Amino acid sequence: MLSRILPLVLALGLLSAAPAGATADASAAEPTVAPTSAPALQPIVVRERPRMKGTARFGKTLTRTVGRYSVGGLTFRTQWLRDGKPITGATRWKYKPRVRDVGHTIRVRVTVSRAGHRSIAPRSSWRRIKHVRDTRRTVKYSIATKGRMTTSVATFRRQVQQILDDPRGWRAGGIRFTRVKSGGSMTIVLAQASQVPSYSSACSSTWSCRVGRHVIINQERWKHASPAWNRAKGTTLLGYRHMVVNHEVGHWLGWHHASCGGKGQKAPVMMQQSKGRNGCTFNPWPKPSERNVPRYR
């Protein structure tokens, strides 16, 4: 009988002496608690979309409203768009249309955010940017050359049209220029320097000139600008081309030469800037006071 009881007592003693770690298997069998999921983001409902305010013309300034929404405490981030694509650096509440905006559509996108809510990015309706002034006259012109050409005539033809189309130029006065294959009211000539005086004894082989219907651009000036222009800080060859075309076309439009209005002021485009500035700063574009041209008053 004793031989049966002793093994049972020994087994009970071993169980009572088992270390605490022996309960690990029991705890592993307890049910696993799933982590708490994040609360769902709440919606922001648009009550009124952003709007653009102001005149959609070059030279004017547009502003935006942020719109109205279903909740308060919002933050807003602005991005102006040209033809639906972000405009670099245009992230303020106001925007002044740039040269390349003319003829294209502008709208504003406002990104609306709040903690615990789903961000949204509503857009305003679009508006097409117009020139400073609507077209009141259309001038047909042609391109010609005289003498030996040592520069690209195709580049001359393309850049002249770009200058005449530029919203900072005579186009701001409502004058639209259309190139035709030949004829027209005006001929813009790229001339070898030695050929410029052939149009008039008043013309020089050093400078450009205008005689009657002919606007004559001196090829050397087109290629190299002028010493006075090149000495000035911040000037470029392209800037000179803008100036010389606008200046000579300005003569065709009826203007005579102008002088500097005061030290530090922008030079009138009709000033002979190829020769110097007389205290003015170089300026390749007609000033607002020059836009009402004599030929079309």
Inform me whether the pLDDT recorded for 112 exceeds 80: yes
User: What's the pLDDT score for residue 21?
Assistant: 46
User: What's the pLDDT score for residue 19?
Assistant: 45
Q: Tokens for 69?
A: 């929404």
User: What's the pLDDT score for residue 255?
Assistant: 99
User: What's the pLDDT score for residue 30?
Assistant: 59
User: What's the pLDDT score for residue 33?
Assistant: 60
Per-residue pLDDT averaged across 154-165, rounded? Answer: 99
User: What's the pLDDT score for residue 38?
Assistant: 76
Inform me whether the pLDDT recorded for 91 exceeds 70: yes
Per-residue pLDDT averaged across 84-113, rounded? Answer: 98
Inform me whether the pLDDT recorded for 194 exceeds 90: yes
Inform me whether the pLDDT recorded for 24 exceeds 90: no
Angle (CA) 100-101-103 rounded to 5° is 105
User: What's the pLDDT score for residue 16?
Assistant: 44
Which domains are seen in the chain, by residue range?
46-128 (2.60.40.2700), 137-296 (3.40.390.10)
Q: pLDDT for 137-156, tens place per residue?
A: 999 999 999 999 999 999 99
Inform me whether the pLDDT recorded for 284 exceeds 70: yes
Q: Nearest Cα to 251, choosing from 276, 270, 275?
A: 270
User: What's the pLDDT score for residue 195?
Assistant: 99
User: What's the pLDDT score for residue 23?
Assistant: 45
39: pLDDT confidence band, cut at 50, 70 and 90?
A: confident
One-letter identity of residue 173: G
Query: How many CB atoms within 10 Å of residue 280?
Result: 19
Per-residue pLDDT averaged across 182-204, rounded? Answer: 98
